[in-house]
C-alpha cells in the first residue's frame, strides 16, 4: 500500500473540503463523483497527469507547458465567469445617465445566485459566436434545464440587472435588430424563411446564449404596472423615477446654435445631438407637432435631445431658447404584445399584470395575447387554440399557473430604450447578475488627452437610485 506524505494529506484535505462545499452549494450529488479525480490527483496518482514534464526534448516540454498554462487559465476563467462575476461593457445609451456608453462593469453572479449553465460545453468569454470563424461558441448537447443556486439576495425594485434578451430565443442571423418577433410582424414567416440573402439562417439559442441586456427593474412579480404620460405607476401609486431618468425634447432657439460648451453642460453626447430643422424631411413632422415655420417655410434651429430633469432646467434658462417640448407619443414603434391591438404606446402603456410564480390566471383571448410567450416560449408548453378551446400540452385548459417569476425592465433613457414595453417580461431564468463596479469608463466623444478616460467613474460602485 502506498505511503502518503503529510504534505499530500494536507493538500488533499483542503481541496476536498472546498470541493464538497462546492457540491453542497450546487445541490448536485452527482458532482461528488469528482472526488475520485481529486483522490488520484493528490494521492494515488494512477493516471500520469504530469508525464509530459519528464520529456527530454526542451522544445516539446516548453510547448506543453504553454498548453498546460492556457488550459488551466481557460478553466479558471470559465468557472469564474459562470459562478462569480463577468465583465460587461455598456453598448447603448438606454441607461444613460445612470450608466454610460463606454462603461466597463463587473457583473456579480453571486448577488442573485449563479445559474447552472444551460450549455456547459462552451468557449469562455464568448457569448454565442466565435469571432473570425462566425460559428457557435457552444455545443448544443448537453443542454440542461434551469437551476439557480443560492446567492446573496434576490432582484429588488430599481435594481440595475443584466439578463439574457428574452426575445432572443429565435434569431435571424443577418437581421438581429429589430428582433425576430418584430420581423415576423413586418415581413411574415414565409418571407423570413425564404429570403436567406436578407435575413440569413433562423436559429434557436438556449437561454444562457442569448444576448446580454442591462436595464432597470421597474416592475416586480405580481405588480400591476401602467405608464401615463411617461410616469410609471405601480398598483396605482406613482413610482419614484430614477435620479438620472431622461426623456427626449425638441428645443427651438431664436436662431442661435448651441456651442460645444453648452452641449457639455447639458451632458449630451455627440451621437445624441440632432439638429432636426436642418433636414427638410422633418419639416412636415415639426409643423404637425406644433412648431411654426417663417413665411419662407424655414424653421428656426430646432434640436432633438435627451435630457435629464436637471438638464431640462438648465436648457430652459439658456439664452436664445424659445420653446421646449417633450417628444410626443407618436411614431414610437411596436409595443408588447405586438400580435394584439391594445392601444398602448411607449409613453402610455398598460395597465398590465406582471406574472408571479404560483399565481393562476384565466385563459381567454386577452390573457393569451399577453402571456402566450411566457407560457409557450419561456415555460416550454405546447399551446393550441381549436374551436375556441385552449389546449396546453394537448389538454383543454381554462386556467394557467405560472412556473416562474417575471420582471418588467426599463431603461432610464426612456425614449431611447427598447425594453419590456417592446418585448415583454423577463423570466427569472434569464437573470444573469447585478452590475456592482465600474472598473473603466471611456468617452467615445473625447480624445485621449481631452478626457477620454472618465477618471471620476473609475472603480465606482453601481448604486440603485
Residue 226 backbone dihedrals phi, psi, to 5 degrees: -145, 155
Residue 412 — pLDDT band, cuts 50, 70, 90? Answer: very high
| CA 9 – CA 21 distance, rounded (Å) | 18
Report pLDDT for 53: 73
Q: What whole-number percentage of the chain has pLDDT above 90?
A: 75
* pLDDT 10s digits, 20-44: 999 999 988 889 999 999 999 888 8
With a cut of 90, say whether residue 168 has pLDDT above it. yes
Report pLDDT for 447: 87
* pLDDT 10s digits, 298-339: 999 999 999 999 999 999 999 999 999 999 988 778 999 998
* Mean pLDDT value across residues 81-100: 86
Report pLDDT for 438: 94
Report pLDDT for 212: 93
Q: What CA–CA distances, in Å, run from 70 to 66, 249, 304, 459? A: 6, 52, 50, 29
* pLDDT 10s digits, 57-85: 888 888 888 888 888 888 888 889 999 99
Higher local confidence (pLDDT), 52 or 119: 119
With a cut of 60, say whether residue 380 has pLDDT above it. yes
Q: What is the dihedral of CA 345, 346, 348, 352, to 10 degrees?
A: 90
With a cut of 80, say whether residue 52 has pLDDT above it. no
* Cell (9 digits) for 343: 392601444
With a cut of 70, say whether residue 400 has pLDDT above it. yes
| CA 416 – CA 423 distance, rounded (Å) | 14
With a cut of 70, say whether residue 423 has pLDDT above it. yes
The residues, ordered by sequence, that sit 6+ positions from 456 with a Cβ below 8 Å of its Cβ are none
Residue 390 backbone dihedrals phi, psi, to 5 degrees: -95, 130
The residues, ordered by sequence, that sit 6+ positions from 162 with a Cβ below 8 Å of its Cβ are 88, 107, 212, 213, 214, 431, 432, 433, 434, 435
* pLDDT 10s digits, 283-305: 999 999 999 998 888 999 999 99
* Mean pLDDT value across residues 443-456: 88
C-alpha atoms less than 13 angstroms from C-alpha of 358 in its C-beta half-sphere: 0
* pLDDT 10s digits, 136-154: 999 999 999 999 999 999 9
Report pLDDT for 1: 56
Amino acid at each position: 500500500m502506498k505511503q502518503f506524505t503529510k504534505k499530500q494529506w494536507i493538500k488533499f484535505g483542503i481541496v476536498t473540503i472546498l470541493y464538497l462545499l462546492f457540491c453542497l452549494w450546487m445541490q448536485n450529488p452527482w458532482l461528488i463523483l469528482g472526488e475520485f479525480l481529486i483522490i488520484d490527483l493528490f494521492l494515488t496518482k494512477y493516471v500520469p497527469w504530469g508525464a509530459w514534464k519528464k520529456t527530454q526534448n526542451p522544445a516539446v516540454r516548453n510547448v506543453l507547458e504553454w498548453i498546460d498554462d492556457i488550459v488551466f487559465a481557460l478553466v479558471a476563467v470559465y468557472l469564474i465567469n459562470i459562478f462569480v462575476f463577468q465583465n460587461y461593457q455598456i453598448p447603448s445609451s438606454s441607461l444613460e445617465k445612470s450608466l454610460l456608453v463606454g462603461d466597463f462593469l463587473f457583473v456579480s453572479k453571486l448577488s442573485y445566485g449563479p445559474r447552472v449553465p444551460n450549455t456547459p460545453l462552451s468557449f469562455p468569454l464568448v457569448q454565442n459566436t466565435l469571432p473570425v470563424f462566425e460559428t457557435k461558441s457552444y455545443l448544443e448537447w448537453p443542454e440542461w434545464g434551469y437551476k439557480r443556486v443560492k446567492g446573496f439576495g434576490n432582484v429588488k425594485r430599481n435594481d440595475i440587472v443584466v439578463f439574457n434578451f428574452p426575445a432572443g430565443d429565435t434569431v435571424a442571423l443577418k437581421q438581429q435588430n429589430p428582433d425576430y418577433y418584430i420581423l415576423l410582424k413586418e415581413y411574415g414567416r414565409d418571407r423570413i424563411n425564404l429570403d436567406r440573402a436578407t435575413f440569413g439562417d433562423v436559429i434557436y439559442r438556449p437561454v444562457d446564449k442569448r444576448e446580454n441586456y442591462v436595464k432597470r427593474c421597474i416592475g416586480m412579480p405580481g405588480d400591476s404596472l401602467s405608464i401615463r404620460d411617461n410616469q410609471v405607476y405601480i398598483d396605482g401609486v406613482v413610482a419614484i423615477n430614477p435620479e438620472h431618468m431622461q426623456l427626449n425634447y425638441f428645443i427651438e432657439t431664436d436662431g442661435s446654435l448651441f456651442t460645444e460648451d453648452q452641449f457639455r453642460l447639458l451632458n449630451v453626447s455627440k451621437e445624441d445631438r440632432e439638429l432636426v430643422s436642418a433636414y427638410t424631411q422633418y419639416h412636415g413632422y415639426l409643423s404637425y407637432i406644433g412648431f411654426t415655420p417663417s413665411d419662407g417655410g424655414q424653421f428656426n434651429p430646432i434640436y432633438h435631445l435627451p435630457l435629464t430633469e436637471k438638464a431640462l432646467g438648465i436648457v430652459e434658462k439658456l439664452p436664445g431658447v424659445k420653446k421646449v417640448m417633450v417628444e410626443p407619443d407618436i411614431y414610437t414603434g411596436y409595443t408588447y404584445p405586438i400580435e394584439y391591438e391594445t392601444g398602448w404606446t411607449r409613453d402610455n402603456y398598460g395597465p398590465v399584470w406582471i406574472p408571479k410564480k404560483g399565481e393562476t390566471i384565466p385563459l381567454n383571448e386577452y390573457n393569451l395575447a399577453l402571456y402566450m410567450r411566457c407560457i409557450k416560449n419561456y415555460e416550454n408548453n405546447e399551446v393550441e387554440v381549436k374551436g375556441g378551446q385552449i389546449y396546453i400540452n394537448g389538454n383543454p385548459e381554462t386556467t394557467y399557473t405560472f412556473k416562474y417569476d417575471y420582471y418588467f425592465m426599463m431603461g432610464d433613457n426612456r425614449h431611447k430604450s427598447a425594453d419590456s414595453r417592446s418585448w415583454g417580461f423577463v423570466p427569472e431564468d434569464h437573470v444573469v447578475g447585478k452590475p456592482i463596479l465600474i472598473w473603466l469608463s471611456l468617452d467615445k466623444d473625447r480624445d485621449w488627452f481631452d478626457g477620454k478616460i472618465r477618471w471620476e467613474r473609475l472603480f465606482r460602485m453601481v448604486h440603485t437610485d
